[in-house]
A and B are shown apart, each in its own frame.
Chain A
Amino acid sequence: MFEYAPAPESRSIVNIKPSYGLFINGSFVDGSSSFKTINPASEEVLSEVASADASDVDKAVKAARTAFSKTWGKMPGKERAKYLFRIARLIQERSRELAVLESLDNGKPIKESRDVDLPLVAAHFFYYAGWADKLGYAGFGPNPKPLGVAGQVIPWNFPLLMLAWKIAPALAAGNTVVLKPAETTPLTALLFAEICQQADLPPGVVNIVTGAGETGAAIVEHPDVNKVAFTGSTDVGRIIARAVAGTQKKVTLELGGKAANIIFEDAAIDQAVEGIVNGIFFNQGHVCCAGSRLLLQESIQDAVLEKLKRRMTTLRVGDPLDKNTDIGAINSAEQLSRIRTLSEIGESEGAEMWQAPCDLPAHGFWFRPTIFTGVSQAHRIAREEIFGPVLSVLTFRTPAEAVEKANNTPYGLSAGVWTEKGSRILQIADQLRAGVVWANTFNKFDPTAPFGGYKESGYGREGGRHGLEAYLAA
Chain B
Amino acid sequence: MVKRRLRLVNNAELTRILHGLPGVDKVGAEARAASLGTRSIKTTAKAWAIDTAIRMVDLTTLEGADTPGKVRALCAKARQPDPSDQTVPSVAAVCVYPSMVPTAAEALKGSGIHLASVATAFPSGQAPLSVKLDDTKAAVSAGADEIDMVISRGAFLAGRYLDVYDEIVEVKRACGDAHLKVILETGELATYDNVRRASWLAMLAGGDFIKTSTGKVTPAATLPVTLIMLEAVRDFLAETGRKVGVKPAGGIRTTKDAIKYLVMVNEVAGEGWLDPDWFRFGASTLLNDLLMQRHKLATGHYSGPDYFTLD
Task: Find out whether the CB atom of B45 lies under 8 angstroms from the CB atom of A271.
Answer: no
Q: Is the CB of B41 within 8 A of A4?
A: yes
Docked-complex contact B266 and A270, CB < 8 angstroms: no
CA distance A269 to B49 in the complex (A): 30
Choose from B25, B40, B44 the contact partner of A420 (Cβ within 8 Å): B25
In contact, B267 and A440 (Cβ under 8 angstroms):
no
Known: A1-B271, A420-B25, A440-B27. Contact between A271 and B41, CB under 8 A? no
- Pairwise interchain contact B29-A270, C-beta atoms closer than 8 A: yes
**Chain A positions 280-331 with a Cβ under 8 Å from a chain B Cβ:** 314, 323-324
Most buried by A among B22, B24, B263: B22
Contact of B45 among A3, A267, A268, A275 (CB under 8 A): A3
Q: Determine the distance from Cα of A199 to Cα of B31 in the docked complex, in whole angstroms.
A: 35
At the interface, yes or no: B23 with Cβ under 8 Å from chain A?
A: yes
Q: Does A274 contact B (CB under 8 A)?
A: yes
Does residue B48 face the partner (Cβ distance < 8 Å to A)? yes
Given contacts A2-B262, A2-B274, A274-B32, contact A440 B25 (CB under 8 A): yes
Q: Given known contacts A5-B41, A5-B44, A7-B42, is B24 in contact with A271 (CB within 8 Å)?
A: yes
- A2, B28: Cα distance in complex, Å: 25
Against A, the Cβ 8 Å flags (1 = close, 0 = not) of B35-49 are 000111111111011
Contact with A along B243-277 (1 / 0, CB 8 A): 00000000000000000001100110001001000
B25 near A271: Cβ-Cβ < 8 Å: yes
B residues in contact with A441, CB < 8 Å? 27-28
Query: When the two chains form their complex, are residues A324 and B24 in contact, meaning their CB atoms are under 8 A apart?
Result: no
Q: A2-B49, A7-B41, A111-B38 are in contact. Are A270 and B231 (CB under 8 A)?
A: yes
Q: Considering only CB atoms and an 8 Å cut-off, how many residues of chain A contact the other chain?
A: 23
A5 to B45, CA, bound (A): 5
Per-residue B-contact encoding for A255-286, CB less than 8 Å = 1, 0 else = 00000000000111111001100000000000
Contacts of B44 in A (CB 8 A): 3, 5
Report whether A268 and B41 are in contact in the complex, using a CB–CB cutoff of 8 Å: no
- Chain B residues, CB < 8 A from A275: 28
Kindly list 10 other residue pairs between chains A and B, CB separation below 8 angstroms, not including A274-B32, A314-B267. A2-B49, A2-B263, A3-B45, A267-B22, A268-B24, A268-B29, A269-B22, A271-B24, A420-B25, A441-B28
A268, A420, A440 — which one has the most chain B CB atoms within 10 A of its CB? A268
A125–B274 Cα distance when bound, in Å, is: 45
* Alpha-carbon separation in the docked complex, A256 to B22 (Å): 34
Is the CB of A359 closer than 8 A to any CB of chain B? no
Q: Is the interface of B mostly helix, strand, loop or mixed?
A: helix
Residues of A within 8 A of B23 (CB): 266-268, 420
Q: Does the CB pair A324–B39 fall under 8 Å? A: yes
State how many angstroms separate the Cβ of B232 from the closest Cβ of chain A: 10
Say yes or no: is A235 at the interface (Cβ < 8 Å to chain B): no
**6 sample A-B contacts, Cβ–Cβ < 8 Å, listed by A number:** A2-B271, A2-B274, A115-B38, A267-B23, A271-B25, A274-B31
Query: In whole Å, how far is B113's beta carbon from the nearest beta carbon of chain A?
Result: 23
- Chain A neighbourhood of B49, CB < 8 A: 2
CB–CB B32/A5 < 8 A: no
Q: Which among A4, A6, A269, A420 has the greatest number of chain B C-beta atoms within 10 A?
A: A4
What residues on A are CB-neighbors of B271 within 8 Å? Answer: 1-2
Q: Which of B28, B29, B45, B274 contacts A4 (CB 8 A)?
A: B45
With A2-B48, A4-B45, A5-B46: A268-B39 Cβ-Cβ less than 8 Å: no
CA distance in complex: A275, B25 (Å):
11
Contacts of B41 in A (CB 8 A): 4-5, 7
Given contacts A7-B40, A274-B32, A324-B40, whether A2 and B266 have CB atoms under 8 Å apart is yes
Contact A5 B25 (CB under 8 A): no
Nearest 10 A/B pairs, CB to CB? A271-B28, A7-B40, A268-B25, A323-B40, A271-B25, A5-B45, A269-B22, A420-B23, A5-B43, A268-B23
| Chain B residues in 8 Å Cβ range of A440 | 25, 27-28
Closest to A300 in B: B22
Contact status of A274 and B28, CB under 8 A, knowing A115-B38, A324-B39: yes
Per the bound structure, the CA–CA distance linking A444 and B162 in Å amounts to 41
Which residue of B25, B43, B45 contacts A2 across the interface (Cβ within 8 Å)?
Answer: B45
Cα–Cα distance between A1 and B270 once the two chains are bound (Å): 10
Q: Closest CB of chain A to B61's CB: distance in Å?
A: 29
If A2-B48, A314-B267, A420-B25 touch, whether A271 touches B32 (CB-CB below 8 Å) is: yes
Q: Chain B residues with Cβ under 8 A from A324's Cβ? A: 39-40
A90 and B44 alpha carbons, distance in the complex (Å): 37
Assess the B22–A270 pair: CB atoms within 8 A. yes
User: Which A155-187 residues have C-beta < 8 A from chain B?
Assistant: none
Tell me the A110-148 residues at the B interface (CB within 8 Å): 111, 115
Residue-wise interface mask of B (4-26) relative to A, using a CB-CB cutoff of 8 A (1 in contact, 0 not): 00000000000000000011110
Query: Is A5 in contact with B28, judged by CB distance below 8 angstroms?
Result: no
A271 touches B29 (CB 8 A): yes
Q: Are A268 and B22 in contact (CB under 8 A)?
A: yes
Residues on B with C-beta less than 8 A from A268 are: 22-25, 28-29
Closest-by-CB residue of B relative to A2 is: B266
With both chains docked as a complex, state the minimum distance between the C-beta of A261 and any C-beta of chain B, in angstroms.
Answer: 14
CA of A1 to CA of B271 in the docked complex: distance in angstroms?
7
Q: How far is the CA of A1 from the CA of B262 in the complex (A)?
A: 11
Specify which chain B residues have a CB less than 8 angstroms from the CB of A270 in the assembled complex: 22, 24, 28-29, 32, 231
How far, in Å, is A424 (CB) from chain B's closest CB? 13
Q: Interface digits, A1-37 against B, CB 8 Å rule (1 contact, 0 not)?
A: 1111111000000000000000000000000000000
Q: How many whole Å from A445's CB to the nearest CB in chain B?
A: 14
Q: Closest approach, in angstroms, between the C-beta of A19 and any C-beta of chain B?
A: 34
Which residue in chain A gives the minimum CB-CB distance to B46? A5
Bound form: Cα–Cα A81–B193 in Å: 46
User: In B202-247, which residues have CB < 8 Å from any A CB?
Assistant: 231
Cβ contacts under 8 Å, A7 to chain B: 40-42
How far, in whole Å, are A267 and B231 apart by their CA atoms in the complex? Answer: 16
Centre residue among A1, A2, A5 by max chain B CB count within 10 A: A2
Q: How far is the CB of A427 from chain B (nearest CB, A)?
A: 18
Q: Is the CB of A4 within 8 A of B39?
A: yes
Minimal beta-carbon separation of A117 from chain B (angstroms): 15
Q: What residues of A have a CB within 8 angstroms of the CB of B29 in the complex?
A: 268, 270-271
B274 proximity list for chain A (CB < 8 A): 1-2
Tell me, in angstroms, the Cα distance from A115 to B40 when the chains sit together: 14
**CA gap between A420 and B19 in the complex, in Å:** 13
Closest B residue to A307 by CB, please name it. B235
Q: A residues within 8 A CB of B42? A: 5-7
Residues on A with beta carbons closer than 8 Å to the beta carbon of B39: 4, 323-324
Taking CB as reference atom, which chain A residue is nearest B262? A2
In angstroms, Cα B263 to Cα A183, docked, is 39
Nearest-CB residue, chain B, relative to A269? B22
Report Cα–Cα, A274/B24, bound state, in Å: 12
B49 nearest CB neighbor, chain A only = A2
Residues of B contacting A111 in the complex (Cβ-Cβ under 8 angstroms): 38
With both beta carbons as reference points, the residue of chain B lying nearest to A306 in the complex is identified as B238
| Min CB gap A384→B, angstroms | 30
- Chain A min CB distance to B35 (Å): 8
Least Cβ–Cβ distance between A358 and chain B, in angstroms: 14
